[in-house]
């Protein structure tokens, strides 16, 4: 018959476990070498793969005690067990790494590598490798000659753990193009590839290091591919079929780095297809390989429509969704990678977006928006952003209901700037569908928060907030525009248009362009406070701005010039202010620009200024002729841009 265990039984068991750990800990300080050795073995065996017990022993102060045993003893057995225990604390456990480093034992572990006892060397190398898998590991300066000599002494070692340690140091510490170059020139690639034919641990350490040295460095990739006429590239490719999941993953990640850096080495569609298929298979691995495979897949297919099609045809979306729907608690890194992979699949292909949304994924995405890990929330927002590129699903209102909109608006207050920027990207697409000034987004205070974020200290957040506001004002009715302007005012716009960041200025002008587009009442916004906004636009255009800023600024003037006679004359005043020397005739420069959009925007402004239905059109035509604008237009009759040519003829 079934039995139950009382809470007192659990309490008793926990107390007993704590007592045993305290007993083991007390024996670490024993003066009897045999007692100490046995205690070290017990600690090591208890904490292997057990984060809970690692934390319990950390709280007891076990790491300093073990570090003391390592430093004070000359007994090889104690050295081996001490190093092994410290390595176990550091393995996949950041608090353990920090405790080991805080104990000041790192130099002593390095000295173990010079021992005459092979077991001591092995234990020291393994422990150091665990430490160098963490971002907390000490920085290793490859530019110092003595450090480079030490690195090569490790790589040249016949001990597989020592040579693997050398590779691990490279994987951890090589982070700049200069360091990559120094390592390549020193011959590190030639040393690393030898490890591809070594043991399992050597191969895996080698693959991690190769990916680090080759990343975003075409010269390093070319050098690697050229080794023995491509033999080692073929070796890495062959390892994607290895029987060990970790080896398959690392070889795939290495190939992803090579492909992203130098795509010309992957012209064979079969190789690409095999890489996609292998990563998809690895997604089902329950361990660390599955976690990292998801991020590897997202990196591989990012911005590559051909690979996205391959992944889609390989049923990637359903496979990923099935994993997300398992109900089991997934590691944050895996969740992040899965959502980013879905986001990339939905970035370009409408079939992918429709397939994704047909699998009832919105609830899972909404839940991810509330995840306690910022990277997961960011990835979910990016997924929303790309899924919302589907005009069909956007028009169906799938993203604008309370269930979706409330958590998105709440994330505008997220403490993580990366989450804020990501959710702004999602909202930028979703707000295009708002058909009513009483939308859920506005009711939840979305406009006020976007305006607040447009003042953020983070330029990316400012730019993203303005992009969302720009889309919110696209073809908006006057009621929504007035609601928005009542929060910003003229001074607010002046700050945006004069922002020190060019991209923020551009988005500020683009927002203003949409605000003044439409009816006469919309144009009146730029005349508030005696035309302060319009004066600022004119001043910015006269500063010879970057092309994209100039395009948006000219479209502001185009929209203003579509209004009344008063509006047209106000635009003329900005184009040709008094004194005349101030203008530097920027209109002529814009008409001669290499940017076709800027030429087109400038032509549109001229068309609106000299429209025959306007009473003052003739006077403005004369002024434009005097300034050389009309003659320049005649020279553009055969403009290379059809849009400019059509506008000019109109």
pLDDT value, residue 3: 43
Report the run of H or E that residue 390 belongs to, with start and end.
none
- DSSP readout, 446-511? HHHHHHHHTT-SSHHHHHHHHHHHHHHTTT--HHHHHHHHHHHHHHHHHHHHT-SSHHHHHHHHHH
Classify each residue of 459-494 as buried b or exposed e, where b means 16 or more C-beta atoms within 10 Å of its C-beta.
Answer: ebbbbbbbbbbbbbbbebeeebbeebbeebebebbb
Classify each residue of 206-222 as buried b or exposed e, where b means 16 or more C-beta atoms within 10 Å of its C-beta.
Answer: bbbbbbbbbbebeebbe
d(CA 266, CA 272): 7
CB 211 within 8 A of CB 254: yes
Res. 435: pLDDT tops 60: no
* pLDDT greater at residue 329 or residue 648: 329
Q: Which residues contact 362 (CB under 8 A, 6 or more apart)?
A: 398, 403, 404
Give the three-state DSSP class for 100: helix
* pLDDT band at residue 504 using 50, 70 and 90 as cut-offs: very high
Q: Residue 302, exposed/middle/buried by CB under 10 A (0-12, 13-18, 19+)?
A: middle
* pLDDT band at residue 642 using 50, 70 and 90 as cut-offs: low
pLDDT value, residue 6: 46
Q: Which residues contact 388 (CB under 8 A, 6 or more apart)?
A: 394, 399, 426, 429, 430
pLDDT value, residue 640: 67
DSSP letter at 228? G
pLDDT value, residue 111: 93
d(CA 246, CA 131): 19
CB 36 within 8 A of CB 78: yes
d(CA 495, CA 505): 9
Q: Residue 458, exposed/middle/buried by CB under 10 A (0-12, 13-18, 19+)?
A: middle
Can you tell me which residue has the tokens 């040393």? 191
Res. 502: pLDDT tops 90: yes
Res. 18: pLDDT tops 60: no
d(CA 234, CA 299): 21
Distance of CA 573 to the CA centre of its chain: 45
Average pLDDT over residues 465-486: 92
Give the three-state DSSP class for 106: helix
Widest Cα–Cα separation across the chain? 107
DSSP letter at 92? T
**Within 10 Å of residue 43's Cβ, how many Cβ atoms?**
30
* pLDDT band at residue 214 using 50, 70 and 90 as cut-offs: very high
Least confident of 13-22, 148-157, 577-586: 13-22
Q: Residue 631, exposed/middle/buried by CB under 10 A (0-12, 13-18, 19+)?
A: exposed
pLDDT value, residue 2: 43
Q: Which residues contact 554 (CB under 8 A, 6 or more apart)?
A: 541, 590, 598, 601, 602, 604, 605
Q: How many residues does the chain have?
A: 650
CB 359 within 8 A of CB 322: no
Question: Could you tell me the two tokens for 363?
Answer: 């609830």
pLDDT value, residue 181: 95
pLDDT value, residue 142: 87
d(CA 237, CA 278): 11
Q: What are the Cα distances from residue 277, in Å, to 200, 237, 423? A: 23, 13, 31
Res. 11: pLDDT tops 50: no
Average pLDDT over residues 164-192: 93
Average pLDDT over residues 312-334: 91
DSSP letter at 614? S
Cis peptide before 52, with omega less than 30 degrees from 0? no
CB 124 within 8 A of CB 83: yes
CB 512 within 8 A of CB 557: no
pLDDT value, residue 647: 54
Helices (H), 133-217: 145-155, 160-173, 177-186, 188-194, 200-214
Least confident of 133-142, 202-211, 252-261, 498-507: 133-142
Crossing angle (nearest 10°) for helices 94-102 and 118-132: 120
Which tens digit of pLDDT belongs to each residue from 68-114? 989 888 899 999 999 999 999 999 889 999 999 999 999 999 999 99
Res. 226: pLDDT tops 50: yes
d(CA 196, CA 603): 62
Convert 266-332 into a string of H (helix), E (strand) and C (coil). CCCHHHHHHHHHHHHHHCCCCCHHHHHHHHHHHHHHCCCHHHHHHHHHCCHHHHHHHHHCCCCCCCH
Q: What are the Cα distances from residue 200, in Å, to 18, 197, 204, 529? A: 37, 9, 6, 73
Phi-psi region of 144 (alpha: psi -120 to 50; beta: other; left: phi over 0): beta
Which tens digit of pLDDT belongs to each residue from 110-162? 999 999 999 999 999 999 999 998 889 888 888 888 999 999 999 999 999 99
* pLDDT band at residue 434 using 50, 70 and 90 as cut-offs: low
Res. 569: pLDDT tops 70: yes
Proportion of the chain above pLDDT 70, given as a percent: 93
Give CA angle at 421 (418, 425), nearest 5°.
135
Average pLDDT over residues 524-541: 95
pLDDT value, residue 8: 47
Question: Could you tell me the two tokens for 564?
Answer: 């009344």
């Amino acid at each position: 018959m079934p039995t139950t265990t009382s809470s007192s039984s659990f309490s008793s068991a926990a107390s007993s476990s704590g007592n045993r750990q305290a007993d083991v800990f007390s024996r670490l300080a024993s003066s009897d070498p045999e007692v100490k050795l046995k205690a070290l073995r017990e600690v090591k065996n208890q904490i292997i793969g057990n984060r809970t017990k690692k934390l319990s022993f950390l709280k007891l102060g076990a790491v300093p005690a073990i570090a003391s045993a390592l430093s004070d003893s000359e007994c090889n057995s104690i050295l081996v067990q001490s190093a092994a225990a410290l390595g176990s604390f550091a393995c996949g456990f950041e608090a353990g790494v920090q405790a080991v480093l805080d104990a000041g034992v790192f130099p002593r572990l390095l000295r173990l590598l010079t021992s005459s006892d092979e077991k001591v060397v092995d234990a020291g190398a393994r422990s150091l490798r665990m430490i160098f898998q963490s971002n907390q590991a000490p920085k290793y300066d490859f530019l110092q000659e003595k450090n480079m000599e030490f690195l090569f002494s490790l790589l040249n070692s016949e001990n597989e753990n020592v040579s693997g340690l050398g590779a691990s140091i490279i994987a951890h510490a090589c982070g700049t193009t200069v360091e990559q170059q120094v390592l390549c020139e020193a011959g590190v690639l030639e040393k690393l590839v030898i490890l591809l034919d070594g043991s399992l641990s050597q191969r895996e350490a080698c693959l991690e290091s190769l990916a680090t040295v080759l990343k975003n460095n075409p010269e390093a990739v070319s050098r690697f591919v050229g080794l023995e006429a491509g033999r080692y590239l073929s070796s890495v490719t062959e390892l994607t079929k290895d029987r060990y999941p970790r080896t398959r993953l690392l070889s795939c990640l290495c190939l992803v780095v090579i492909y992203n850096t130098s795509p010309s080495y992957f012209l064979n569609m079969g190789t690409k297809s095999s890489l996609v298929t292998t990563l998809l298979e690895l997604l089902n691995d329950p361990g660390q390989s599955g976690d990292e495979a998801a991020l590897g897949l997202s990196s591989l297919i990012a911005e590559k429509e051909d690979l996205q099609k391959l992944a889609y045809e390989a049923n990637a979306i359903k496979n990923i969704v099935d994993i997300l729907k398992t109900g089991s608690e997934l590691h944050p890194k895996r969740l992040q990678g899965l959502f980013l992979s879905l986001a990339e699949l939905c970035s370009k292909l409408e079939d992918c977006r429709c397939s994704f949304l047909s699998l009832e994924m919105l609830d899972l995405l909404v839940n991810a928006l509330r995840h306690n890990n910022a990277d997961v929330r960011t990835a979910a927002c990016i997924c929303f952003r790309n899924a919302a590129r589907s005009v069909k699903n956007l028009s169906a209102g799938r993203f604008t209901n309370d269930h979706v909109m409330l958590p998105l608006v709440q994330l505008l207050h997220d403490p993580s700037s990366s989450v804020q920027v990501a959710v702004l990207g999602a909202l930028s697409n979703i707000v295009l569908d708002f058909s009513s000034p009483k939308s859920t987004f506005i009711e939840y205070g979305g406009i006020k928060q976007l305006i607040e974020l447009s003042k953020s200290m983070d330029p990316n957040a400012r730019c993203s907030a303005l992009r969302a506001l720009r889309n919110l004002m696209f073809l908006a009715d006057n009621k929504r525009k007035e609601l928005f302007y009542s929060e910003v005012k003229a001074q607010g716009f002046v700050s945006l248009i004069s922002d020190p960041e060019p991209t923020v200025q551009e988005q500020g002008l683009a927002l203003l362009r949409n605000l003044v587009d439409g009816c006469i009442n919309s144009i009146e916004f730029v005349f508030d406070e005696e035309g302060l906004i319009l004066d600022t636009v004119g001043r910015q255009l006269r500063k010879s701005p970057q092309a994209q800023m100039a395009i948006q600024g000219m479209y502001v003037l185009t929209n203003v010039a579509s209004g009344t006679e008063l509006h047209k004359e106000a635009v003329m005043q900005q184009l040709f202010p008094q004194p005349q020397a101030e203008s530097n005739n920027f209109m002529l420069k814009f008409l001669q620009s290499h940017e076709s959009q800027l030429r087109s925007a400038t032509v549109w402004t001229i068309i609106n200024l000299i429209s025959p239905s306007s009473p003052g059109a003739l006077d403005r035509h004369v002024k434009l002729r005097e300034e050389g604008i009309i003659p320049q237009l005649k020279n553009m009759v055969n403009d290379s841009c059809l849009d400019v040519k059509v506008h000019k003829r109109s």
